[in-house]
């Protein structure tokens, strides 16, 4: 569903992403992790069609993002870490706007249950300025889910959500994957990644340093085999195993 | 301790800012901007320093007593406003970082106020320098520059402290409950009594003013020179007097009471022990919001005004051309923020224009007929105004979405259509306003045809209206494409950013303006040729009717031009990016 081949992104001399390849099949949830500056956001931006890669290719639902960007984008939803909303459109108007962009003919039928799922029904006519950070995040997610994308890219989706909303969001992500969507989830919350993701991709300095199932990656560092993802991550990115936290 | 903190912060801020600006100057575009900014400032300075030019009128300076009286009265009214209207809360504003670090630090309120006063020093010094330059009267002033600078510094410092003191006392009254209200009651009563005294003196002179035949300054001066107003204005007069001194000894004498006023204000402010933190934080938030709006306006980006959600103004079907959603979004913004009031304003202006034309239009005394061209100049004036100001005022296009370019790129919309929809949004809004204006004039002329400009018949007026309705969107498309293009192509020139400012920022703004005008002038060449060619060929055969064909020809060239530029801008939109990590 999502295929990335030899993705490279240069900013002048800086290599932000270096020959990165991976794929996410329908129903899979890929956790994209790495230290700050590893190239995660650059990768996600390339996947979402925001920034063109210097070389390599991105395919979404078999559409080449470089050659068939409109078809690829129609199959995709990108939800950035900082919700980008229009201050002058209400919650419901955001969804109507997205419906038109993606040609969602049955939007009037889809919007109420989506608002209910994300607990936004009471805020239908509210402008973003009057929403909390968490509500804004929920609205951004609702906009992403409205057209039922087959590829879902989430950058730190749980930022600003309360515990109950986090639980619901996790259920929403799992349900979308269960429904056949390919999901990429970038997060520093490694317990969330561990809980939700079927595969992990660890990036450092723009390069892939680990990729595969959690057990598979964990086994690649024999010193801390069997430890949780946090210990595996630190061992991989620091270059040496560290004692697990008690 | 607080003084050390202030000096550390100021010295390091200035050094870092200077270093970063010097680094930027290495890049040609910033070097050019800085140079242009310097030239502009120098030209302003030289305008005010040559011969006897610039500054205030000489006859006013020849009577320093009158000037002092006028200035004292104005400043007294300003000060009274601070007290009566509950204090200017912005005087208590800190920066968000200052609130974060200083309010949580183990510092006394007195230390915080000291910091606030120290932080205001650069602003006071800049104000002093600006006033010295503005009021420079060549060789006329016998006072050395340093004396004048000191005099102005004392005025600004005293006023700043008074404003801060008034804010502390008045704005924090609510925060401190009954004690705050009691603390503010006495000074407020004194200010009100003083104002009443001034008002009484002026009212007493009212009969004389009625018969002044326009020469009311001497009468006002006499009225305000009485015992009561003199006492009321004395503190302000003492503060301002050194700036009006004509000789150094006179200045030295005037400085003593001015310095005393400064010292008293310092003691008053520094000893005011009131809880002002909450008011200060509220003022800080509001100032931060104002600065964000100002910065966005300066950047060429559109500013999102606070909006109120009403019922959905414009319907939008869920299917159809996706780019229409962009037009819908931007039109919703326009309608919610400025659409209704602007439309009402435009219609009102059109009606007032007709009324003015009726009132002031020339009228033949013998026939009783109104002059036929009275509306002509008004129409031309407003056409110019709309053309020049409209694209700056109506900004519901790419300039509105400059901060959300990334989001736009994720939309499954063809980039050319996306850019087209963005530009079309402001073209529609501006054209609708202009057409509303012209339509009101057209309809008015149906009832009062005698005011028709240029002796046009009803048929010609109708044709002119159709030509106008066709041409206006096209002309707006050119202007707004240029405006959007400049904002998209040269964001770094148009947008100084948070670290920019001062000379470089002035230069960047000048360059952006010059670039816009240059591109606009360039874009008019081809359509003007097309219009000229059609008129030159067909005028002899068709007369005024050839104007319609000329509009079509010019319009076609404009459509082609705009389409080419939009295609190019779409490529720019797709490629422009930034480093996030």
Residue B29, pLDDT above cutoff 50: yes
CB spacing of A125 vs B574 below 8 angstroms: no
Picking from B410, B415, B571, B579 by the largest number of A CB atoms within 10 A of its own CB, the best residue to mutate is B410
Q: According to the model, what pLDDT value does residue B321 have?
A: 92
Residue B10, pLDDT above cutoff 90: no
Query: How many residues belong to chain A?
Result: 246
CA distance B244 to chain A (A): 51
CA distance A28 to chain B (A): 22
- Could you tell me if B529 lies within 8 Å of chain A, comparing CB atoms? no
Q: According to the model, what pLDDT value does residue A149 have?
A: 93
Residues A198 and A165 sit within 8 Å (Cβ to Cβ): no
pLDDT tens, position by position, A136-189:
989 999 999 999 999 999 998 888 788 888 888 889 899 999 999 999 999 888
pLDDT category of residue A200 using cuts at 50, 70 and 90: very high
Measured between alpha carbons, how far apart are the two ends of chain B, in Å? 38
Enumerate residues 75 to 134 of chain A having a beta carbon within 8 A of any beta carbon in chain B: 76, 78, 80, 84, 86-90, 93, 96-97, 99-108, 125-127, 129
Strands of B47-91, DSSP E:
none
Q: What radius of gyration do chain B's Cα atoms show?
A: 30
Q: According to the model, what pLDDT value does residue A199 have?
A: 92
Least confident of A55-69, B58-72, B238-252: B58-72
Q: According to the model, what pLDDT value does residue B499 have?
A: 42
Residues B294 and B287 sit within 8 Å (Cβ to Cβ): no
Residue B249, pLDDT above cutoff 50: yes
Q: Which residues contact A201 (CB under 8 A, 6 or more apart)?
A: A22, A30, A31, A32, A33, A208, A210, A211
pLDDT tens, position by position, A31-71:
999 998 889 989 998 999 888 899 999 999 999 998 998 99
Q: Which residues contact B250 (CB under 8 A, 6 or more apart)?
A: none
- Could you tell me if B389 lies within 8 Å of chain A, comparing CB atoms? no
CB-nearest to B329 from A39, A89, A99 is A89
Q: According to the model, what pLDDT value does residue B424 have?
A: 95
CB-nearest to B333 from A88, A101, A129 is A88
Q: How many CB atoms are located within 10 Å of the residue B219 CB?
A: 18
B328: nearest CA in chain A? Answer: A97
Q: According to the model, what pLDDT value does residue A117 have?
A: 87
The tokens 């707004």 sit on which residue? B480
- In angstroms, the CA A225 to CA B220 distance is 93
CB spacing of B409 vs A71 below 8 angstroms: no
Strand order in the sheet with A63-64: A14-24, A2-11, A55-60, A63-64
- In angstroms, the CA B567 to CA B571 distance is 7
Residues B2 and B107 sit within 8 Å (Cβ to Cβ): yes
ipTM: 0.81
Pick from A55, A15, A71: nearest CA to A39:
A15
Per-residue pLDDT, averaged over B540-557, amounts to 85
Q: Could you give the 3-state DSSP secondary structure of residue B570? A: helix
Average pLDDT along chain B: 77
Strands of A73-144, DSSP E:
76-79
Q: How many CB atoms are located within 10 Å of the residue A222 CB?
A: 9
Q: According to the model, what pLDDT value does residue B498 have?
A: 38
Q: What radius of gyration do chain A's Cα atoms show?
A: 18
B333: nearest CA in chain A? Answer: A88
- Could you tell me if B366 lies within 8 Å of chain A, comparing CB atoms? no
pLDDT category of residue B77 using cuts at 50, 70 and 90: confident
The tokens 């005087």 sit on which residue? B91
Q: According to the model, what pLDDT value does residue A213 have?
A: 87
Is pLDDT larger for residue B16 or for residue B171?
B16
Most confident of the ranges A221-225, B180-184, B369-373, B531-535: B531-535
CB spacing of A78 vs B410 below 8 angstroms: yes
pLDDT tens, position by position, B272-312:
777 677 777 777 777 777 776 666 655 555 555 555 555 55
Least confident of A208-222, B127-141, B178-192: B127-141
- Could you tell me if A35 lies within 8 Å of chain B, comparing CB atoms? no
Q: For residue B404, which residues of chain A lie inside 8 Å, CB to CB?
A: 84, 86
CA B204 to each of CA A202, B21, B221: distance values in angstroms, whole numbers, following the listed order? 85, 59, 13
pLDDT tens, position by position, B472-520:
888 888 888 888 887 787 665 554 333 445 666 677 667 767 777 787 7
Q: At what angle do helices A91-102 and A133-145 cross, to 10 degrees?
A: 20
Residue B372, pLDDT above cutoff 50: no
CB spacing of A93 vs B332 below 8 angstroms: yes
Output the six-digit token pair for B10: 């100021």
CB-nearest to B581 from A42, A48, A99 is A42
Half-sphere exposure of residue B277, counting CA atoms within 13 Å on the CB side?
Answer: 13
Per-residue pLDDT, averaged over B237-251, amounts to 88
pLDDT category of residue B213 using cuts at 50, 70 and 90: low
Instruction: Flag whether the pTM goes above 0.90.
Output: no
Pick from B423, B394, B473, B404: nearest CA to B323:
B423
């Amino acid at each position: 569903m999502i295929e990335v081949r030899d993705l490279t992104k240069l900013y002048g001399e800086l290599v932000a992403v270096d020959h990165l390849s991976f794929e996410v099949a329908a129903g899979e949830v890929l956790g994209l992790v790495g230290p700050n500056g590893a190239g995660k956001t650059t990768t996600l931006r390339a996947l979402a069609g925001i920034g063109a890669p210097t070389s390599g290719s991105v395919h979404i639902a078999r559409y080449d993002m470089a050659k068939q960007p409109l078809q690829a984008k129609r199959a995709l939803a990108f939800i950035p870490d900082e919700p980008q909303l229009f201050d002058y459109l209400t919650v419901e108007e955001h969804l109507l706007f997205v419906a038109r962009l993606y040609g969602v003919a049955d939007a009037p039928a889809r919007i109420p249950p989506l608002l209910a799922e994300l607990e936004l029904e009471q805020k239908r006519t509210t402008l973003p300025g009057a929403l909390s950070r968490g509500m804004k995040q929920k609205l951004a997610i609702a906009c992403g889910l409205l057209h039922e994308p087959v590829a879902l890219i989430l950058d730190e989706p749980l930022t600003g959500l309360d515990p109950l909303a986090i639980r619901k969001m996790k259920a929403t992500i799992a349900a979308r994957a269960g429904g056949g969507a390919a999901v990429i989830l970038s997060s520093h919350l490694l317990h969330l990644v561990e809980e939700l993701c079927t595969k992990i991709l660890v990036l450092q300095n723009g390069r892939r340093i680990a990729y595969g199932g959690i057990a598979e990656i964990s086994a690649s560092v024999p010193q801390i085999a069997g430890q949780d993802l946090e210990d595996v991550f630190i061992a991989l990115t620091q270059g040496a195993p560290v004692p697990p936290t008690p | 301790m607080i003084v050390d903190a202030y000096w550390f912060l100021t010295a390091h801020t200035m050094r870092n800012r200077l270093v970063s600006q010097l680094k930027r100057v290495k890049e040609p575009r910033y070097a050019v901007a800085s140079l242009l900014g310097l030239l502009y400032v120098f030209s302003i300075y030289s305008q005010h320093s040559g011969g006897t030019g610039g500054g205030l009128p000489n006859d006013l300076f020849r009577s320093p007593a009158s000037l002092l009286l006028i200035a004292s009265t104005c400043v007294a009214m300003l000060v009274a406003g601070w007290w009566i209207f509950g204090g200017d809360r912005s005087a208590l504003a800190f920066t968000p970082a200052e609130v974060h670090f200083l309010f949580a630090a183990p510092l006394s309120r007195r230390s915080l106020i000291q910091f606030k006063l120290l932080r205001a020093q650069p602003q006071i010094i800049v104000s002093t320098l600006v006033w010295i330059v503005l009021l420079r009267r060549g060789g006329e002033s016998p006072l050395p520059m340093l004396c004048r600078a000191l005099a102005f510094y004392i005025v600004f410092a005293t006023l700043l402290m008074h404003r801060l003191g008034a804010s502390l006392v008045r704005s924090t009254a609510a925060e401190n409950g009954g004690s705050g209200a009691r603390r503010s009651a006495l000074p407020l009563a004194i200010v009100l009594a003083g104002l009443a005294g001034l008002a009484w003196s002026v009212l007493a002179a009212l009969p004389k003013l009625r018969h002044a035949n326009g020469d009311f300054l001497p009468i006002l001066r006499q009225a305000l020179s009485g015992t009561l107003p003199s006492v009321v204005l004395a503190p302000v007069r003492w503060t301002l007097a050194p700036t009006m001194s004509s000789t150094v000894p006179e200045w030295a004498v005037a400085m003593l009471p001015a310095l005393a006023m400064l010292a008293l204000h310092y003691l008053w402010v520094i000893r005011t022990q009131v809880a002002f933190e909450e008011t200060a934080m509220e003022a800080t938030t509001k100032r931060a919001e104002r600065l964000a709006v100002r910065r966005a306006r300066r950047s060429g980006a559109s500013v999102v005004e606070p909006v109120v959600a009403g019922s959905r103004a414009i319907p939008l079907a869920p299917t159809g051309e996706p780019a229409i959603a962009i037009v819908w979004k931007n039109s919703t913004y326009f309608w919610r923020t400025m659409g209704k009031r602007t439309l009402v304003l435009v219609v009102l202006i059109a009606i007032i224009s007709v009324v003015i034309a009726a009132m002031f239009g020339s009228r033949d005394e013998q026939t009783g007929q109104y002059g036929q061209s009275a509306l002509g100049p008004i129409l031309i004036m407003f056409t110019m105004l709309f053309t020049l100001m409209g694209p700056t005022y109506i900004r519901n296009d790419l300039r509105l979405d400059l901060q959300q370019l990334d989001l736009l790129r994720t939309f499954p919309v063809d980039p050319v259509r996306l850019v087209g929809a963005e530009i079309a949004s402001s073209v529609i809004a501006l054209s609708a306003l202009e057409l509303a204006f012209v339509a009101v004039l057209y309809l008015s002329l149906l009832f009062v045809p005698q005011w028709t400009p240029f002796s046009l018949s009803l048929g010609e007026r109708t044709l002119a209206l159709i030509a106008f309705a066709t041409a206006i969107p096209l002309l707006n498309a050119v202007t707004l494409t240029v405006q959007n293009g400049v904002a998209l192509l040269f964001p770094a020139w148009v947008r100084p950013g948070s670290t920019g400012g001062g000379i470089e920022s002035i230069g960047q703004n000048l360059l952006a303006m010059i670039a816009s005008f240059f591109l606009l002038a360039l874009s008019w060449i081809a359509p003007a040729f097309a219009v000229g060619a059609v008129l030159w060929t067909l005028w002899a055969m068709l007369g005024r009717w050839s104007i319609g064909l000329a509009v079509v020809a010019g319009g076609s060239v404009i459509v082609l031009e705009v389409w080419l530029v939009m295609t190019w801008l779409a490529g720019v939109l797709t490629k422009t990016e930034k480093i996030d990590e």
